[in-house]
Structure 1
Amino acid sequence: MYKEVDKQVKVGVKFSSGKVEPVWFFWRKRKHEIDEVNLYHRSFKGEAPLHHFSVTVGEDVFQLTFDGKKLRWKLDKLWLNRRQPR
């Protein structure tokens, strides 16, 4: 099931070799441990750099975006395998 979410979330990250990698995020009062970062790309909204991460949690895929100007994380989209979002 695909769903557009567009909600601000808290994200834990690790820094290694000049790169940032999300390791967990809170959404709907639950901590989601990220199993894998599938894809990363950068875009811009005006002068604001946006860092997009496609991540896997179990069998589900989430798109997280970090706004480099506002210093905020958002959960943009999700693809759930077999179950409805809580």
Structure 2
Amino acid sequence: MPRQELIRVAVIFEPGKGLRPVWFDRNRRQHQVKETTYRWQDRAGDKPLHHFSVTDGESLFELIYSPLEGVWTLVEQRPDP
């Protein structure tokens, strides 16, 4: 299972489009989201989860937002192809 860590994320709520992450903090470094490459929703039991595959131009990250808990989680990091 990939390592998970709670992180701080800045988002924009766009009418008709929902959440759009614009930056996140990891290891005291702010990563600007240059592109959201994919987004999807699923559930963990009764808990809805919003997933975002994003890149800062150097690496690919998966961010998960849990609206019931109000927390963001960084699930994994892979080098950008």
TM-score, with length taken from structure 1: 0.85
Q: Which residue of 1 is the match for residue 14 of structure 2? A: 16
Contact 1:50 1:67 survives alignment (8 Å): yes
Q: Would the aligned equivalents of 1:12 and 1:24 in 2 still touch at CA under 8 Å? A: yes
The gaps in structure 2 that reach 5 residues or longer are none
Q: Which runs of 4+ in 1 moved over 2 A?
A: none
Structure 2 distance, partners of 1:5, 1:61, is: 15
> Among the aligned pairs, what percent are the same residue?
33
Distance in structure 2 (CA, Å) of the matches to 1:5 and 1:17: 33
Bigger relative contact order (CA 8 A; separation at least 6):
1
The RMSD of aligned alpha carbons is 1.1
2:77 aligned partner: 78
In structure 1, list runs of 5 or more residues that go unmatched: 82-86
**How far off is 1:10 after superposition?**
0.1
- Aligned equivalents of 1:36, 1:58: Cα separation in 2: 8
Distance 2:30 2:3 in 1: 16
Alignment size in residue pairs = 78
The aligned counterpart of 1:33 is: 32
